């Protein structure tokens, strides 16, 4: 039997396959709530089978951290009813689902009159790449406590909606990644960008708080932008320690992707971030999910056989072919 077809225990869940639908923004919400278009989309992507887990698109935990005008909100209790419907659709197709929760920090597209916040008053390289300059306000301790609470409340809303867990988004240049990257974290307090301990402190505080409030059976994943692939940024050598810290904080799974560089590394073979997922496995006993350009069963199985990862995410290929997971499992 192929590894792809085998079960895997992740937290309190028993996943039936090693294939995961990773978070992909649909940009289908006009008012911040789950609507029929979103429900139809997730139904289409999950009804053919083959997936062991679904991680939803990122949802914002606070209005000031909204990534785009059509992003889904988890910032108020109004979101719970829609999340119940979303969980119901995916559960009816026989697949567990976790909600990815996020704050965009200096990458936010909230009200233009709102002061953007970040770990430090440093221009995010992703803004520079767009040709625009935006210097955020460095967060103080009150900001940090408030945002930490926003993440916890969003996780509680996911639990109230019947979702199986939540994924804390610390990747792709968003707020928690801004704390992790030395390029955007110039702090000199306990959240310092000078050490892995400081750069992961806020993520670990969020994980611990969610675990305490949501309980031991609520799956907690970390979407980890493990390296920036930029001079002076986070590096592969930092990954084992960071992964170990997430495990000690109470995480159940680590999902590996890119940092300030984003989620695409062109010119690499399938499994773009496999060097990083392998490094994460060296630092933790937790299941590690790898996503990045994987489009077929051969490469997915190869990455599992080589112990580069425990789970395989298929994103853009799933957008093209909704039946791909079922085909991969049957090959």
The per-residue pLDDT for range 41-59, each reduced to its tens digit, is: 999 999 999 999 999 999 9
pLDDT of residue 331: 80
Site of tokens 């690499």: 268
Q: State yes or no: pLDDT of 237 exceeds 80.
A: yes
Q: State yes or no: pLDDT of 243 exceeds 70.
A: yes
pLDDT of residue 128: 65
Mean pLDDT value of segment 115-135? 79
Compute the 3-state secondary structure of the chain and give helix, strand, coil in percent, each to the nearest 5: 40, 15, 45
Task: Read off the DSSP letter of residue 218.
Answer: S
Q: State yes or no: pLDDT of 267 exceeds 80.
A: no
Contacts of 138 (CB under 8 A, 6+ apart): 117, 118, 119, 120, 121, 187
8-10 and 13-15 beta bridge pairing: antiparallel
pLDDT of residue 1: 64
What is the crossing angle of helices 196-214 and 239-249, to 10°? 20
Name all domains of the chain by residue range, CATH numbers in brackets.
25-35+57-83+97-290 (3.20.20.70)
State if pTM tops 0.85: yes
Closest of 283, 261, 281, 282 to residue 272, by C-alpha: 261
Site of tokens 């060097």: 275
174 tagged catalytic:
yes
Q: Which is more confident, 236 or 133?
A: 236
Tell me the two tokens of residue 152.
């916890």
* Helix or strand run (H / E) with residue 126: helix 125-129
Q: State yes or no: pLDDT of 285 exceeds 60.
A: yes
Question: What's the rounded Cα separation, in Å, for the pair 319 and 21?
Answer: 10
Mean pLDDT of all residues belonging to the chain? 95
pLDDT of residue 109: 83
Mean pLDDT value of segment 194-214? 98
pLDDT tens digits, residue range 87-99?
Answer: 999 999 999 999 9
Q: Are 224 and 171 in contact (CB under 8 A)?
A: yes
Catalytic residue (one of 41, 42, 174, 180): 174
Tell me the two tokens of residue 17.
């396959």
Query: E-assigned strands of the chain?
Result: 8-10, 13-15, 19-21, 53-60, 97-102, 117-118, 137-138, 165-170, 219-225, 253-257, 288-291, 311-313
CB atoms within 10 A of CB 101: 28
Q: State yes or no: pLDDT of 132 exceeds 70.
A: no
pLDDT of residue 131: 55
Mean pLDDT value of segment 158-182? 98
């Amino acid at each position: 039997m192929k590894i792809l077809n085998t079960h895997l225990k992740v937290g309190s869940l028993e996943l039936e396959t090693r294939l995961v639908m990773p978070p992909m923004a649909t940009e289908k919400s006009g008012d911040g709530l789950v609507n029929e278009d979103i429900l139809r989309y997730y139904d289409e992507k999950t009804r053919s089978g083959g997936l062991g887990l679904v991680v939803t698109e990122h949802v914002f935990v606070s209005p000031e951290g909204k990534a785009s005008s059509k992003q889904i909100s988890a910032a108020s209790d109004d979101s719970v009813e829609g999340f119940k419907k979303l969980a119901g659709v995916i559960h009816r197709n026989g697949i567990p689902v976790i909600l990815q929760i996020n704050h965009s920090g200096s990458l936010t597209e909230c009200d233009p009159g709102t002061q953007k916040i970040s770990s430090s008053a440093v221009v995010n390289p992703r803004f520079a790449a767009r040709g625009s300059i935006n210097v955020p306000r460095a967060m103080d301790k009150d900001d940090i406590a408030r945002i930490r609470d926003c993440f916890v409340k969003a996780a509680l809303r996911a639990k109230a909606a019947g979702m199986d867990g939540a994924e804390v988004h610390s990747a792709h240049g968003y707020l928690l990644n801004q704390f992790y990257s030395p390029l955007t974290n110039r702090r000199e307090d306990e959240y310092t960008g000078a050490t892995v301990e400081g750069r992961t402190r806020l993520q670990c505080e969020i994980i611990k708080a969610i675990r305490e409030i949501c309980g031991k059976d609520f799956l907690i994943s970390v979407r980890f932008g493990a390296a920036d692939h930029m001079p002076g940024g986070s590096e592969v050598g930092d990954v084992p320690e960071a992964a170990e810290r997430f495990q000690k904080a109470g995480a159940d799974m680590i999902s590996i992707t890119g940092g300030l560089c984003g989620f695409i590394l062109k010119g690499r073979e399938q499994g773009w971030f496999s060097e990083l997922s392998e490094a994460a496995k060296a630092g933790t006993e937790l299941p590690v999910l790898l996503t990045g350009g994987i489009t077929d069963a051969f490469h997915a199985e190869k990455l599992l056989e080589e112990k580069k990862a425990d789970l395989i995410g298929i994103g853009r290929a799933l957008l093209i072919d909704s039946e791909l997971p079922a085909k991969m499992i049957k090959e």
